[in-house]
Amino acid sequence: MTLVTTLTAIAVAFIISVILGFVIIPALRRMKFGQSIREEGPKTHQKKAGTPTMGGLIFIGSIIISTLSLSYIYDVLTTQTIVLLLVLVGFGLIGFFDDFIIVVLKRNLGLTSIQKLIGQIVVAVAAFFLLKLGPFDTTVQIPFTEFKMELGIFYVAFLIFWLVGFSNAVNLSDGLDGLVAGTSSIAFGAFGVHALIYEQYDIAIFAFVVTGAMLGFLIFNVKPAKVFMGDTGSLALGGALAMLSVLIKQEFLLLVIGIVYVVETLSVIIQVISFKTTGKRVFKMSPIHHHFELSGWSEWKIVIVFWGVAFLAAILPVLMEVM
């Protein structure tokens, strides 16, 4: 797989995302699929009410079209490619139903936590058994070491935990214009490089396609956002990112490359535990990007700093691999 192939994957997905953006965003406006803003959130976010949501349809469509087309052209359409698309679409559908219930049916809570969890478990289990149709390594490896731990049939439990955990982590992080679109393009690009290093070209194509699709979506999502990805997009991205780490057998590397999502999630956990046990809050508001907002940081500053952290976290493991 050459540099030209990599750039082609990014460029094709970018262009398709932009085209779909110009088609889908006006359609979302016509159907009045506008975002509702939580009352308990930062007051500055109230002006974002009514911005079209469910924009994840833009980049999910681009990823599907680009991945299938390029995988066929370069003859790298494999079971692993299908599994990645299954997780992307499966988690995206769960998010879509959640968004639809909130935006269209006007039921503010959307799907219940149990309903989301059941859907996520079904998708994860389906992905596991699809992988098991062929040879699939059920070990997990500690990054930068040779140590591997065999999980056997218990790997399915790990897979469920991993996919559900990271899909929800990305979902929690999706609170500022361009934050997740930028960090996810960086994370998928980093995993694309790792896939190239391990000569897993089918996975590399998917990873770079997502990078291009997210950069295309970022044109519409950067502040001031013309569209939000909604749960449709954030759940799909989180699930696909976790599945990517599984397929290149670098599961725990995601804790490094996805450090922004890890910290955002930890901030929520810490806040809840602290308030329930002591009645005090550690942060002014969680997830932690809201804490910085209430501390006086501009939305742009928070997003750029988080992008920078994501870039450093992504590039360091790559440098360690190639050195």
Q: Indicate the SS3 state at residue 188.
A: helix
Distance CA 131, CA 137 (A): 9
Say how many Å lie between the first and final Cα of the chain, rounded: 20
Q: How far apart are CA 243 and CA 96, in angstroms?
A: 20
**Cβ contacts of residue 290 below 8 Å, gap of 6+?**
41, 42, 175, 283, 284
Burial class (CB in 10 A: 0-12, 13-18, 19+), 297: middle
User: Whole-angstrom Cα distance, residue 192 to residue 205?
Assistant: 7
The half-sphere exposure of 65 on its side-chain side, counting CA atoms within 13 A, is: 18
Q: Which residues contact 191 (CB under 8 A, 6 or more apart)?
A: 203, 207, 241, 244, 245, 248, 250, 257
Find out whether 202 is annotated in a ligand binding site.
no
The 8-class DSSP code of residue 105 comes to: S
For residue 110, what are the CA distances in angstroms to 27, 100, 104, 171, 183? 22, 8, 10, 14, 26
* 265 Cβ contact list (under 8 Å, min separation 6): 165, 168, 169, 172, 173, 287
3-state secondary structure of 139: strand
Which H or E run includes 140?
Answer: strand 139-141
- All residue ranges of the chain with pLDDT < 50 are none
Using alpha carbons, select from 7, 208, 171 the residue that is nearest to residue 95.
171
Residue 151's Cβ-count burial label (10 Å; 0-12, 13-18, 19+) is middle
Which residues on adjacent β-strands are paired with residue 52? 34
- Tell me how crowded residue 258 is: count the other CB atoms within 10 A of its CB: 29
Q: Report the predicted TM-score, pTM, of the whole model to 2 decimal places.
A: 0.93
pLDDT computed for residue 323 by the predictor: 65
Tokens read off for 57: 């349809």
Would the annotation count 231 as a binding residue?
yes
d(CA 191, CA 197): 10
pLDDT score of 98 = 94
Instruction: Identify the pLDDT of residue 262.
Output: 97
Check residue 34 and give its pLDDT.
Answer: 75
Helix (H, G, I), strand (E, B) or coil at 83: helix
The amino acid at 247: L
